[in-house]
Amino acid sequence: MKKLLKNNNGAAIVTVVFIIAVVFLLCVALINFNDSHTKNVLLSGQIEDALQIAEAGYNHFMSYLYMDSEFYKSSEGISNPGPAGEELGFVPIDTDSAGYHVYKIITYRSGNNIIGHYQVRVKPPSVNEDLTLISTGWTDQDPEIKKSVKVKLHKRSFTEYVDFTQSSGTGNNTVYWTTDDVAYGPVFCNGDIFVKGFPIFMDNVYTAGKVVEESGEAKILGKKYENVEPAMFPVTNSEIKNWAENGGIYLEGRTCIFIDGTKLYIRNNHEEYKDELLERDLPKTGVVYVKGKVFISGILDGKLTVYATDDIYITGKNPTEKNGWNNPRNATMTGSITVDGYNYNIGIGYQNTNIPLDRNATGSNYSDDMLGLISEKNIIIATKTWPYDNLQGYRSNHNYNNVMVPEMIIYGAVMSTGGQFMVEDFDKAPVKGRLSVYGSKIQNSSRGAVGTFDERTFRIISGYNKQDRFDYRFKTMSPPHFVEPANSGWEIRSWEEIPNPKIIQ
């Protein structure tokens, strides 16, 4: 019988082949992993680069905002051609369906090397909505990989409050918030806020000091913020003078202004004009600068800031009517309006008075009329002072009832950088009705008086009683080139990555 011998060579070959196959597959997997990892690293780097370029875009735009806080309003922008003719500035080219102003694509360079590109789009602020920027960036090597960020920017302003004061006074001159005082908007004081009685604050209260309740209790429907950073008045306001001299109106001497929609009627007693009636359109920059006193009234259709180095007198009659100068009783009343069921004479009004008075208001379907008055001294409701043809340009001995109006409403932001908002002869003038500012009052002092009242009955015994309302557009917007706090700056309120919008060529 033949003996069968066991042969393991075949099995060994199979085993070797199997091991080789496994090793081969592991090598292939490792190579694929390394390749995929390399691609992911490269992709991650390109994504990170695109994000950094997008951030460079909004930071670039912010640099222009620091030079001119109203740069986003410019319909022309600034063109800055690069070495190869590419755009390095911001030139608006379109408005997208979401209301963003879209700017030309900008080349992002490092020396002579092109790193990438970005496109910025900006949505102007609206009621309770900050200025919004979207920046989309991509590398020059891989334009298909894009990243977009959206930031909301806010700049601190004096106009954010219905009532802004430097202090509350001291000693016998302390100004209290008392019973029947109602603040229809945010309040700010760079010092303590003193309470005597039961005033009502309908919105937030901010104080660099404390809310001191000497008697009674303040009812604050918003939030109370104490020991906040003060908002400091600037040492100089030279910038606004530059805006007047370059695209605005600059005048010297006593000046009377009557606002009639988009027109300004002006009498100026400088020797160049000799009180002849001038007619001007609202200036391009929106700024009128007067080195002297101003008498002003009217109804505005547009945006305007009037700055005076001396007192500003608000009148309820047309101060440019020369036949009324010797006897203001003959001057024409500016107009009348009924607001919240109350009949007012107009001191300064808006053509469109649809302004947001609710703290929760949003949107942009409101009036686009906006006024700012800034005096280096006081803003005064005229009761006995009126323009005149003498050397100084006015007289201050007229009969109260010839100058005063029964009630008065003023629309806008009124600012006294060196004094107060007040009624002339508030403690001697006859009793009138209500005086209201629908906007914002800023005083580099304590709150000025508009009348006097009996402390027992709270009955008015001279001048006016007041009821101011806040225009909530002023939370995020200001009149043209309005004076800003010395310690203001653009701050990023929010930052987020968003899906890429369509690039517009």
How is residue 485 written in tokens?
């706090």
d(CA 398, CA 384): 5
Which pLDDT does position 124 carry in this prediction?
94
Which pLDDT does position 23 carry in this prediction?
55
Whether the Cβ atoms of residue 150 and residue 134 lie closer than 8 Å to each other: yes
Considering only CA atoms, which of 333, 327, 461, 324 is closest in space to residue 399?
A: 327
Which pLDDT does position 37 carry in this prediction?
45
Q: Is the dihedral of CA 67, 69, 71, 74 positive or negative?
A: negative
d(CA 6, CA 209): 103
Residue 352 carries which DSSP code?
S
3-state secondary structure of 13: helix
The per-residue DSSP string of 44-76 comes to: HHHHHHHHHHHHHHHHHHHHHHHH-TTGGG-SS
Residue 199 carries which DSSP code?
-
Which pLDDT does position 454 carry in this prediction?
82
Whether the Cβ atoms of residue 439 and residue 412 lie closer than 8 Å to each other: yes
Within 10 A of 274 (CB to CB), how many other CB atoms are there? 10
Q: Is the dihedral of CA 490, 370, 439, 249 positive or negative?
A: positive
Instruction: Determine which helix (DSSP H) or strand (DSSP E) holds 21, and give its type and residue range.
Output: helix 9-67
How is residue 437 written in tokens?
């500012």
Instruction: From first to last of the 505 residues of the chain, give the pLDDT tens digit.
Output: 444 444 555 556 656 555 665 555 555 554 554 454 444 445 577 899 999 999 999 999 999 999 899 999 999 999 888 887 778 889 999 999 999 999 999 999 888 889 999 999 999 999 999 999 999 999 999 999 999 999 999 999 999 999 999 999 888 788 899 888 999 999 999 999 999 999 999 999 999 999 999 999 999 999 999 999 999 999 878 899 999 999 999 999 999 999 999 999 999 999 999 999 999 999 999 999 999 999 999 999 999 999 999 999 999 999 999 888 878 999 999 999 999 899 999 999 999 999 999 999 998 899 999 999 999 999 999 999 999 988 899 999 999 999 999 999 999 999 999 999 999 999 999 999 999 999 999 999 999 999 988 877 778 899 999 999 999 999 999 999 999 999 888 999 999 999 999 999 8
pTM, entire model: 0.87
Beta strand segments in 66-130, E: 92-95, 101-103, 106-110, 113-123
